Amino acid sequence: MQDVNVIYNLSVPLNDAVEIYSFGSYGKRDGKSGATWRRPRDVNNIRTIYPNGFLPFITSDITDSSIAGGAKGGDDFRWDASVTYGYNYFPFGVENTLNATYGNGTPTEFYAGNIKYEQTVANLDFSTDVESGLPKPISVSFGGEFRKEVYGLGAGDPASYADGGRTLFLDPGRQDTTTLSAPGAQGFPGFRPNDAVDASRHSFSAYVDLETNLTDALLVSAAGRVEDYSDFGSTASGKFAFKLDVVDNFGIRGAVSNGFRAPSLQQTYFSSTATNFIGGVPFEVRTFRVNSPEAKLLGAEDLKAEKSTNFSLGITTQPVDGMNITVDAYQIDINDRIVLSENLTGTAVQNFLTSRGFPGVTGGRFFTNAIDTRTKGVDIITSYNTSVGDGDLALTAGINFNKSKVKSVKGNPSTLTSLGLQLNRFARVEEGRFTVAQPKSKLNLGVTYSINGIDMNLRGNRYGKFTSRNANAALDQTFGSQWVADAELGYHFTDSWSLAVGANNIFNQYPDTVIPGANPNGFAQYSNFSPAGFNGGFYYARTTYKW
């Protein structure tokens, strides 16, 4: 990938009471990423074009920009008014590929379509301190927000998704002489015209936040927020928090709150076809838009908003000068959590999708409010800052322990049952994504030393074990823990100009490989759930100039 980013940040005092400000960014990212290798005798290869097989490349040319402007002022009564606009445009391409249904006349490069997202947010905030006879004034904040979102998806070239009519090749040596070739560009079939969408919504919200000391040792805060969505109605949420200084340098803190998250426009309107590996075998799986007829027949229902309840309790302490320690325990309950359904596959599903105009698509899925979940965990964070010689030393250590469980699973909709498909829209494989596919512990260690314009940074991360569930439970696999180290060395030539070299995953570590039974074709060497990724080391040089 190649990134170019321009960022600015400015403020101008108009007088002693009012200041105007603006900040923004513009970025371009050109990227290319390998898909899955197509072997020479694969049913979706044409050997006269790629006699040795081929590796499709998915390309992108992303534009990401934002701009904000506002004014603020006041002394005893402070105010801040602003408007922010953000835009992301993500066009796809596929290179070094083909659409086998076009035969030898297939293009080998396609435009696959685009995704865009826009957001405009206007805020008006006020804050002041009110004397009330308590040890400290009541800090009062209130305000409102207007937000508009726009989501768009554009179709690709017809050849990137269409069936060219050549459905079977009797190519000598072909691995399978009965299976039809899948229409569309290999690696990423383009977005179809019925994928295209231009959707938007807006919302209004208002909030109030109060904070004060009831005693010299007890700080309390309470906040409330109401929101009204053009597509999901109104909701209210709130939070109460406290911090009690038991003795000098030791305190207890806690909070309870509830939350509301409306389904994103992407979750509601996205649709696409892509290659998914199920039990190590590639399937052409279509993610259906929730309100599409096909999704409805497969059991999709209109999405509801997620609602959460959150509890936390912890301590803060400063046992010695320069050292801070925090320990926080938390519990998060999410009801009607939005998840992807299982990959619904099988001959009956394939026949159903073919009859609905999706030949070559061998599975389907959709977003659904299928589960209620609970996550419990503990965060422990320690930092220590001191002087060593003529330099400054900063040490950090943090560890997280967590456990998630699915409290309940919604039953199959009657529409899925009526099709006679022996499938569940949510079962053990997708459940595993939330309960065992993420490490139950993570350790972070960091050392930073700065002296005479030189910055040295070392970081170590240990990711705990995780489990990948397979459609065949006998092929479930637990992957071992993994250490990853990062390092950076920088030098400030002047107050404005600096240079740094570094590496993420400096020792080029990789996770455990997938067992052969779950990787019959040899494609999926590493699990997609690997928290450290499977791209090995990333090495860089960076120069920065500020003025």
Q: What DSSP assignment string belongs to 208-241?
A: EEEEEESSSSEEEEEEEEEEEETTTEEEEEEEEE
The pLDDT value recorded for residue 173 is 61
Residue range 229-238: mean pLDDT, rounded: 92
Instruction: Answer with the residue of higher pLDDT: 520 or 538.
Output: 538
Q: For the segment 483-517, what is each residue's pLDDT rounded down to a tens digit?
A: 999 999 999 999 899 999 999 999 999 999 999 88
Count of alpha carbons within 13 Å of 135, Cβ hemisphere only?
Answer: 10
Summary mean pLDDT of the chain: 91
The type of residue at 502 is: G
Percentage of the chain beyond pLDDT 70 is 96
Read off the tokens for 165.
Answer: 């009519």
Read off the tokens for 64.
Answer: 């990401």
The pLDDT value recorded for residue 176 is 64
Element (H, E) at 438: none
Q: For the segment 76-123, what is each residue's pLDDT rounded down to a tens digit?
A: 999 999 999 999 999 999 999 999 999 889 999 999 999 999 999 999
For the chain, helix (H) and strand (E) counts, in that order, are: 5, 25
The pLDDT value recorded for residue 180 is 76
The CA distance from 397 to 391, in Å, is 20
Residue 392, pLDDT above cutoff 90: yes
Count of residues in the chain:
547
CA-wise closest residue to 66 among 88, 38, 51: 88
Residue 167, pLDDT above cutoff 70: no
345 beta partners? 363
The CA distance from 220 to 474, in Å, is 52
Report CA-CA distances (Å) from 489 to 454, 500, 536. Answer: 7, 6, 20
Residue located via tokens 């929101």? 227
CA-wise closest residue to 187 among 30, 350, 44, 287: 44
Q: For the segment 1-48, what is each residue's pLDDT rounded down to a tens digit?
A: 899 999 999 999 999 899 999 999 999 999 999 988 998 888 889 888
The CA distance from 496 to 73, in Å, is 30
Read off the tokens for 186.
Answer: 């290999």
